[in-house]
Amino acid sequence: MTAMKLHGIFAPLTTPFESDGSVALGQVRNNVALYNKTKLAGYVPNGSTSESVLLLWEEVYDVWEAVRDAAAPEKILITGTGAESTAETIEHTNRAAKIGYAVALVRTPSFYKPSIDDHMLAEHYLRVADAARIPVMVYSVPVFTHVTVGASLIERVAHHPNIIGMKDSSGDMQGIAAIIAAARDAASEGGMAAVQIAAVAKRAGIAAGTVYRYFPGKTDLVAALLTEISEREVGAVRAAADVAPGPLSALSAAIMTFATRALRHRRLAYAAIAEPVEAELDAARLGARKALTGEFASLIAAAVAHLPEQDPALSAAALVGLLIEGLIGPLAPDATGRERAVVQSLALVALRALGVTDARARGLVVMTDNR
């Protein structure tokens, strides 16, 4: 079975009820029809948000069919199929596959808690994955099941080709942040090639299985790192622009901040924008570039009264391309050169491209040490 990669936001669907307690299937379809107008990647019926434990399985099947019938063709359908027994979970999973669902979300069994451990759970998930006709995701929701998905469990099941990920509803954001920070440190020293699960786990002081709990593989971890770098740099650019005295000064400050921060973190910046990576990471890089372009488009639009007539979105895309291409050489591991001169040159060229031909005379290109 070909490995599936999920990207985007998948909305957990609520289950509407009629006044007599039956499922309001018409309203299910109406809700999905409204969601089709959004950029959601897909839908997840029969999870905890759907009040799944209050439904008969025949009602669940009816909901699955209603969602399938109403969903736009491009929407990916994921659904909860977990039950207390392995055999019943397999039955529901393959029923979901027959109806047209792409992925099964399998919660942990929870009734016989004294007998539940990582070994038992691993056997459960591996047998389900072996028999399932669609990919499987581990679903950890300890607030309801009171069963914790441990690192040893994830480490054991993560290598099964039909187990593609995990929905972690434990709320452990600090654990994710620590892993991303360790990945960032690794990339700062050795580039994206150094972002390996075992190495990152060692830096974070945790087991490799804990990393797998949140990131099924290296590609997923690097994608999350690229997103974190993007958010951090966009935030820095915005902060620099916010304290500038005017719109042109804000634009200049944003350009110089981006270039300065890249040159002060050369290895990490080069890894993020230029180092060869797996093709699956192109989407994460494109997303980072779009986010930066959007920020510069806003700044250009704010300064439009002081610039020649232009399309802010188009100019921003060209500006980001200019900055990234202009930085690749200076960021290369064997590059030499003074940071100040590179930043000033890039800023002058970028502003001139936008129509500011006298940036130096206006005092717009001035280096400071707080970026």
- Which residues are known catalytic residues? 167
List the one residue out of 239, 347, 357 whose CA is nearest residue 308: 357
Could you give the dihedral angle defined by the CA atoms of residues 68, 70, 72 and 73, in that order, rounded to the nearest 10 degrees?
Answer: 40
Q: How many other CB atoms sit within 10 Å of the CB of residue 209?
A: 20
Q: Sign of torsion, CA 214 226 135 64?
A: positive
| Residue 110 in tokens | 């929870």
Amino acid code (one letter) for 147: V
Contacts of 277 (CB under 8 A, 6+ apart): 192, 222, 285
Query: 118-131 vs 86-99: helix axis angle to the nearest 10?
Result: 40
Cβ proximity of 312 and 300 under 8 Å: yes
